[in-house]
Structure 1
Amino acid sequence: MGNIETLEELYKRKFDWLPDNLRNEIGHFNIFRLEPFTGEKAKPIPYKRRDYYKIMLVIGNSKVHYADKIFEVKKQALSFSNPQIPYKWEHLDNIREGVYCIFNQHFFNQFGNLSQYEVFQPNGNHIFELTDEQVNKLTTIYERMFEEINSDYIHKYDALRNLVFELLHFATKMQPSSTFDKHPINASQRISTLFLELLERQFPIEEAHSKVNFRSASDFASQLNVHVNHLNRSVKEATDKTTSQIIAERVLQEAKILLKHSKWNISEISYALGFTEVTHFNNFFKKHLQQSPSQFRNV
């Protein structure tokens, strides 16, 4: 897995040009149609993380490698990509048409926290198969984006942010509400949210000498200045999972990504994920997947 792709690299790879204002703007937003890059003109998309967000409407059959999972788009779908999770698309020649917008975190500075939406969370849903009626509704939103970005309206970027939120809410309404959405926010949910944010801050791991510092419930409790029993109760109440279970799931997800898409050896991956011994990592991996890291890598 290569280094994280920047907006500058995206423009050079796909378009061989850079917007004049790309480096001058604090926040960046743009929107494109897919037609020029499909069929025979489709270019391979490398599996890697990007430092920008992307929301894409795709018409046609294709496959998406998203983190450690593979999704098949049977007919048409709306996809959400974020800087935390690597991805790539296959069979672009089967995509008939589409449209996508890209933006960075700075574009939403003081306008909201994108990470609160499940579509941008590591364990959330990122691909949504669509009906024809849903495609028509989404197409209208994207056409409004084209209209706004090409206008002279002084507040057009505020209007574009609102349209991005329309896409976010459209997808969020398509998936079951999480436990956090079912009840008013209480103390347990606030602590759980802080725990999940602290956990996610350790990922993605891009360099072999980087290391996960918080691996146990007590590590997180100390950092959050709460008793470990209180943290465990709060997380269980808010998520219906134990603290250790959530930590293990996230470490396992990152382990699978690194094993499949990096050139690091098992020892380097083990160290980066916070294991003191390679044997501990091997035992952890076998416990959850019933195969060794080497076996998983070579499948």
Structure 2
Amino acid sequence: MTTKESFTSDSLFELYKTLGLPVDMFDLKEGFTIFNLKEVGFTLPYESSSYRPNFFSFLFVKDGQGKYAIDEHTFEVAPHSIYFTNPSNYRTFSWQRIEDVLLITFDEAFLKKYIGEDVYTDFPFLLTEVIRPRVVPDDFFRDIGNINLQIRKEYKGNAASRYKIIGHLLAVLLFKIKEHIWMDYNPIYEGNRSSQIVILFKRMLEQHYRDLAAGKAAVVFRVQDYADAQHLHPNYLSSVIKSKTGKPIAVWIAEKTLAEARSLLQNSSIPVKEITYRLGFTETSHFSNFFKKHMGVSPNKYRNTLHL
């Protein structure tokens, strides 16, 4: 292992490369991988550095022993367990024994390209923060094991349409897991980490725009800033906000920008030019176009109408 510092990884390839693990078995054409960890060649016992992934992963442990830690939680990974992670907080993993452990990873781009743009509607559990490994019955483990064997066969093959086939098989796998483990999962009613993410985002959004309106903040936050505040990847934050509220994070920010613009125009004499810069627009014309798009009139006309 080459580092003990925390880092962010956009793919399993980047993760293993940073950790000094073998990467010669990777196919980098798409954001998908499937390996038996026995093939990787871990020097056991093994403990990783802390990292934040920008990809989803499923771990199917037929025979092995290890631990995964995220935040203050540590979970034992035992035989016949399934462990799921998504782009989220920093975590570490360790292995004491690896005999038959299958790891599947995929990114959001792969999901939307080969399964569909509405993937989170079909599989809302992909956004869950329920991270505890699930020990499943033998028959279910064998059932999904057969699907995994087909996926591995396609991944190692050279068919021109192999990733389309893998996408279909992955969808089958996700449906099986949904029906067996997360049948009743609904992110709208989940009262744990995902709800906290939305609450903290809304609080931060509100406070930040108060600071902007009062001149206490000079730079408008980007999605990256809201994500960094919760130690999340921006793609994951965006997905959680959209899934749980029904509105993309960009819409939340645009609506808040518009609300603050209207408030400043109504309740202050601050020039439109200054409002432009306070709300993060580089040119008055950009702000005017934004405001007119949503309100139907220019900022000046809106203000003048209020004071007739």
- Category of TM-score, reference length = shorter chain: 0.5 to 0.7
Match of 2:21 in 1: 14
SS of alignment partner, residue 169 of structure 1: helix
Match of 1:99 in 2: 102
How do 1:100-249 and structure 2 match up within 5 A?
Answer: 100-110=103-113, 111-116=116-121, 117-125=123-131, 127-175=133-181, 177-178=183-184, 180=186, 202-203=226-227, 205=229, 223=252
| C-alpha displacement of 1:113 | 4.5
One-letter amino acid of the counterpart of residue 172, structure 1: K
| Aligned residues of 1:39 and 1:93 also touching (Cα < 8 A) | no
- Residues 34-73 of structure 1, C-alpha deviations (whole Å, 9 max, x = no match): 1144775453222321122221111233322134322223
One-letter amino acid of the counterpart of residue 252, structure 2: Q
SS of alignment partner, residue 93 of structure 1: strand
- Tell me the distance in 1 between the aligned counterparts of 2:31 and 2:108: 8
User: Structure 1 residues 148, 18: closer, same or farther in 2, change over 3 A?
Assistant: closer
- Tell me the distance in 1 between the aligned counterparts of 2:102 and 2:185: 32
- Tell me the distance in 2 between the aligned counterparts of 1:148 and 1:18: 14
SS of alignment partner, residue 152 of structure 1: coil
Provide the alpha-carbon RMSD of the alignment. Answer: 4.0
- Tell me the distance in 1 between the aligned counterparts of 2:66 and 2:176: 22
Match of 1:84 in 2: 88
- Tell me the distance in 2 between the aligned counterparts of 1:196 and 1:112: 25
Match of 2:74 in 1: 70
- Identical-residue share of aligned pairs (%): 14
| C-alpha displacement of 1:98 | 1.0
One-letter amino acid of the counterpart of residue 33, structure 2: N
- Tell me the distance in 1 between the aligned counterparts of 2:41 and 2:135: 20
Q: Which has the larger radius of gyration?
A: 2
Match of 1:35 in 2: 38
SS of alignment partner, residue 180 of structure 2: coil
Q: Structure 2: give runs of 5+ residues left out of the alignment.
A: 190-194, 202-222, 257-308
Q: Structure 1: give runs of 5+ residues left out of the alignment.
A: 182-187, 190-194, 227-299
| Aligned residues of 1:34 and 1:98 also touching (Cα < 8 A) | yes
| Aligned residues of 1:120 and 1:126 also touching (Cα < 8 A) | no
Match of 2:301 in 1: none
> What TM-score, normalized by structure 2, do the two folds share?
0.53
| Aligned residues of 1:38 and 1:93 also touching (Cα < 8 A) | no
Equivalenced residues, count:
202
Query: Which of residues 22, 43, 47 in structure 2 aligns to 1:44?
Result: 47
- Tell me the distance in 1 between the aligned counterparts of 2:72 and 2:171: 27
